[in-house]
Amino acid sequence: MGLGPDIVEMLARARADLRMGVPIVVLAEVSVLAVAVEAMTPERLAALRALGAPLELALTGWRAETMKARVYDGDVARIAVPEAAALGWLQSLADPADDLATPMKGPLQSLRDGDAAAHRVAIQLCKAARLLPAALCAPVPEGLKFAVSHSLTAIPLALAEPLMAQSSLLHPVVQARLPVEASEAGRLHVFRPEDGGEEHYAFEIGRPDRSQPVLARLHSACFTGDVMGSLKCDCGPQLRGALAQMGAEGAGVLLYMNQEGRGIGLANKMRAYALQDQGFDTVDANHRLGFEDDERDFRLGSDILKSMGFASVRLLTNNPAKVAMMEASGISVTERVPLKVGENRFNRDYLATKAAKSGHLL
Ligand SMILES: Nc1nc2c(ncn2[C@@H]2O[C@H](COP(=O)(O)OP(=O)(O)OP(=O)(O)O)[C@@H](O)[C@H]2O)c(=O)[nH]1
Ligand SMILES: [Zn+2]
């Protein structure tokens, strides 16, 4: 590796840029300048306009369908941005907060010609930056020259595309003894991804025999449930229930994955909660925001288990997708151990929706 950043490091920079509202350039046959709508300022919009190129708003298929716009590029739509459009118009297309109050944002003209691959990468990077998946884009001739002259991060499309579908490699950083209420024989292991993303944790209880299936839980971060004691989900009781069972058996491993809000981040999860207060269920709220119903990468969990020396698990979950993904990524699931705790009048509909729409077992 040379002194400069490689493509994985460039992608980490691009995510940071997007969060700051700084444009990036995706280098392709027609290179595309992209800026996250959520982080864009009026000054940046004015600077983009001054380029004189036609502006396009890249949205996911889910969000575009919600807005009744045509989707010509599979999972991505490119909406023509009228010359007089203000930042508020772009924001209202990106963010569904006021959809019900102002349902008519169109007519929206979806673009059909040309390639949407660069726009797709821009949207994926917005998601990875935990922003709303919406990018304002403009074609730029001589993309690399343009990027260099404006000190912008330039991402070659052909190098970025294959990485978007891969999980990052994780490396163990440190582990230390951590006695907890559920067990005095706890150890916390910290894992750091190579791509500059979130760290994930493994909490090991006792000294589980690596040659036997270990009692395991693949838990996704839920600040509201795990920390605040939210009654809107079952995460807190599941977390404590799993630890208690491992403590009682004297062995187990709880993977704590920092994939808040099924991988959309806390800010977007709160947007989803605001939509749920308007009457949408947990799945429809994700779609209306432009996300898949579940954006998590469960492979990271099996990678951690493998690196700790585990090959098979008794998995504490009600989610068959977790079982399937473990198996597909090389960890054998000898038993699914149900984890049904914490139902209350606030989360009853949420749990019923997960059973009806996401395949969770009741
Ligand atoms: N987007 C979104 N995420 C939510 C909502 N409610 C809870 N979550 C997140 O959903 C995830 C739940 O994670 P888990 O409990 O590990 O997974 P699960 O798919 O429910 O499966 P099991 O609990 O193993 O049965 C956490 O990341 C929560 O932050 C919601 O309404 N919208
Ligand atoms: Zn939760």
Q: Domains for the chain: give ranges and CATH numbers.
A: 7-164 (3.90.870.10), 170-259+296-357 (3.40.50.10990)
pTM exceeding 0.90: yes
User: Which helix (H) or strand (E) covers residue 244, if one does?
Assistant: helix 235-249
- Mean pLDDT of all residues in 110-136: 97
Nearest to 344 by CA among 242, 244, 232, 238: 232
| Cα of 206 from ligand 1 centre, angstroms | 27
Nearest to 56 by CA among 135, 2, 113: 135
Q: Which residues contact 290 (CB under 8 A, 6 or more apart)?
A: 59, 60, 62, 63, 94, 132, 133, 134
User: Quick check: ipTM above 0.85?
Assistant: yes
**If you take atom 21 of ligand 1, which residue's CA is the nearest one?**
319
Give the 3-state secondary structure of residue 211.
coil
pLDDT at 103 over 80: no
| Cα of 137 from ligand 1 centre, angstroms | 32
| Cα of 302 from ligand 1 centre, angstroms | 18
Please tell me if the CB atom of residue 353 comes closer than 6 angstroms to any atom of ligand 1. no
Alpha-carbon separation of residue 197 from 18, 193, 263 (angstroms): 14, 6, 12
Share of the chain above pLDDT 90, in %: 89
pLDDT in the model for residue 207: 97
Give the 3-state secondary structure of residue 202.
strand
C-alpha span between 331 and 359 (Å, rounded):
21
Integer-rounded Cα Rg, in Å, for the chain is: 22
Please tell me if the CB atom of residue 233 comes closer than 6 angstroms to any atom of ligand 1. yes
- 106 confidence band (pLDDT: 50, 70, 90): confident
- Is 126 within any annotated ligand binding site? no
Q: What is the pLDDT of residues 165-213, one digit of tens each?
A: 888 999 999 999 999 999 999 999 999 999 999 999 999 999 999 999 9
**If you take atom 12 of ligand 1, which residue's CA is the nearest one?**
220
pLDDT at 356 over 80: yes
Active site residues: 294, 296
